[in-house]
A and B are shown apart, each in its own frame.
Chain A
Amino acid sequence: EIVMTQSPATLSVSPGERATLSCRASQSIDSNLAWYQQKPGQAPRLLIYAASTRATDIPARFSGTGSGTDFTLTISSLQSEDFVVYYCQHYNTLPPYTFGQGTKVEIK
């Protein structure tokens, strides 16, 4: 099973500043990585797939980079609605398609 590790668990950032979230896979997953945003009481929403491709209607301030085992989600200028939880997930060939434990972005 591929283990996905996100860091930090909590990220404190001021509105308008940049946030950088990390996700590491226990073995290479090529670019088979997705990022999701989850607001309280809601289902997750796909932000990024194939490590760096924005999903439909996702604002340009969200960007993803990485391949192999190390990945990054960057939010270039945090808006009030961005202070929520983010998850990475691999979908490399065979399941289980494990998620990271999540990073909560909070207001500094």
Chain B
Amino acid sequence: QVQLVQSGGDMVQPGRSLRLSCVASGFTFSRYAMHWVRQAPGKGLEWVAVISYEGTIRYYEDSVKGRFIISRDNSKNTMYLQMNSLKGEDTAVYYCARGPGIAVADALDNWGQGTLVIVSS
């Protein structure tokens, strides 16, 4: 079955960096677009970034553009979110999620368990 297992969440100081990972199994990872979505404590869902199945197309939400980098290694069935210059407002549970196919624009049919990032001094 489809599984997305996340890691990398931690507490970090403002201005520091952190890298999240999402390891996929149960499907052909290289054939699917992948997304990051976050949820601040007690708040709603916020779409963060998407990467195409081959990694050549990447889009970001405005508040993270220039600070976050989405990437993937299809040989390792793994997607990453490199988060730089972290701010307090980046504090959230971060979810990785899969689209149902190669299209970047699509619903998210499978989700990771989430990993908590806390940005605080």
Interface code B45-63, partner A: CB below 8 Å = 1, 0 otherwise?
1110010000000011110
- Rounded to whole angstroms, the CA-CA distance of A97 and B111 in the bound complex is 16
Contact assessment for B46 and A43 in the assembled complex, using a CB-CB cutoff below 8 Å: no
Which secondary structure dominates chain A's binding surface? loop
Any B CB within 8 A of the CB of A11: no
What is the interface size of chain B, counting residues whose CB is below 8 A from a CB of the partner? 23
Is A8 among interface residues, defined by CB-CB distance under 8 A? no
Q: Is the CB of A96 within 8 A of B47?
A: yes
Give the residues in chain A near B35, CB-CB below 8 Å: 97
| Cβ contact of B47, chosen from A45, A55, A97, A101, cutoff 8 A | A97
Interface size on A, residues (CB 8 A): 27
Contact A93 B44 (CB under 8 A): no
Inter-subunit contact B107/A46 (CB<8 Å): yes
Q: B68 within 8 Å of A by Cβ?
A: no
B10 contacts A by Cβ under 8 Å:
no
Indicate if the CB atoms of B44 and A91 lie closer than 8 Å: no
Interface contact A99-B46, CB-CB below 8 Å: yes
Instruction: Give the A-B contact count at a CB cut-off of 8 A.
Output: 67
Chain B residues 47 to 88 lying within 8 A of chain A, measured CB to CB, are 47, 50, 59-62
How distant is A46 from chain B, measured CB to nearest CB, in Å?
Answer: 5
| A49 beta carbon closer than 8 Å to chain B | yes
Nearest-CB distance from B66 to chain A (Å)? 15
The contact string, 1 if C-beta is below 8 Å from chain A, for chain B 87-121, is 00000000100001000111111011110000000
Contacts A36-B108, A96-B47 known; 18 new A-B pairs at CB < 8 A: A43-B111, A43-B114, A44-B37, A44-B95, A45-B111, A46-B108, A46-B109, A56-B109, A87-B45, A94-B59, A95-B50, A97-B35, A97-B50, A98-B47, A99-B44, A99-B46, A99-B47, A102-B44
Residue positions of A touching B, CB distance < 8 A: 1, 32, 34, 36, 38, 43-46, 49-50, 55-56, 87, 89, 91-102
Binding site for A on B (CB under 8 A): 35, 37, 44-47, 50, 59-62, 95, 100, 104-109, 111-114
Show 7 A/B contacts (Cβ-Cβ < 8 Å), sorted by A: A34-B108, A44-B37, A56-B109, A87-B44, A94-B105, A95-B50, A97-B105
